[in-house]
Amino acid sequence: MAKSTLSQLENGVGNPSIETLWSICVVLDIPFSRLIESPSPKTKVIRYGEGESVFSKCKDYQATLLSSCPANVSRDIYWIEVSLGEPFYSKPHNPGVIEHVIITKGCARVGLKSNSYVLTEGDYITYPGDLPHMFEALQEGTCGMLISEYR
């Protein structure tokens, strides 16, 4: 590949051919299909105290990345309070919607209707919101943060 072609691609100016993209995939050791297929949403749980964290040298401060926002995506953020009782079952949302939930108080069963998890304070889960999903408070006063991501 010519240096000028590579420079154009790095600067977002070029329009690469399939052959050029294939060559780049070979060098990066990634399958060509990764460039053309849509990533499938996956369920991910991060327990409190786990995950990738960064620390400040100045103060006792720690930030743990739960989810980075992909380009061209928007998110809505909701505070949720759920009482004990019947589980809340949600029908699928629009195609491509991803939901993120962080339990801030209490305990809940959250996730896909077919595959849910018991989460406690500080736990995080993400799952495809375009599949049937649920939220069930397992303790009185359960609260959390719900982020709906639209792709």
Taking only the tens place, the pLDDT of each residue in 55-97 is 767 666 677 778 877 777 788 899 998 889 889 999 999 899 9
- Assigned CATH topology for domain 44-150: Jelly Rolls (2.60.120)
Convert the pLDDT of each residue in 106-136 to its tens digit: 999 999 999 999 999 999 999 999 999 999 9
Query: Where in the chain do CATH 2.60.120.10 domains reside?
Result: 44-150
- Nearest to 99, CA basis, from 66, 51, 148, 144: 148
pTM check: above 0.75: no
- Nearest to 127, CA basis, from 113, 139, 138: 113
